[in-house]
Structures are given as C-alpha cells and as structure tokens.
Amino acid sequence: MLTREDILNYALALPPGDRELVAVALQDSLEAERNSAESLAGNEFYDELRRRSAAYRAGQAHARPAAEVMAELFQRQADETSP
C-alpha cells in the first residue's frame, strides 16, 4: 500500500500539466466536501437563528447586550483558571 508520502512524491514527479490536473482535482474535491458540510451546518444554524428570532419577536425570549454576555464568560473563565 502506498503511503501519503509515496503518493505526494509520485505527484510531484509528474510533468507540470499533470500536476496541475491533480491539484485542480484535489481542490475541487476539498471544496465539494467543504460546501457540503457548510450547507448542512448552515441550514441548521439558520433554522436556529430563525427560531430564536421569532421567539424574541413574540416576546417569548429576552436578549442581553453582547458586552454583558462576553464579560460574564470572561469572568467564568477567570474563575475556572484561578487556583
């Protein structure tokens, strides 16, 4: 079985046109995976945003200033890391 290093060495030994073909194919496969993962996560993320936004507009949820939330998180982190 070929190792990753073997495959890389074989690819690097190819003529420039063939290396470009391999590079484009690899890039396309990475983008397809990334787009698929982002699409799944994105849909769930936006569904949650819509749900929370609707609850806020309906008066079923409240909001806090981001600075307040961040200050609380930083304080919790400081409390957890202090001896």
Question: Taking the complete model, does pTM exceed 0.85, yes or no?
Answer: no
Instruction: Output the pLDDT for position 3.
Output: 93
**19: which residues sit within 8 A by CB, 6+ positions away?**
11, 12
The parts of the chain modelled with pLDDT lower than 50 are none
Largest CA distance in the chain: 65
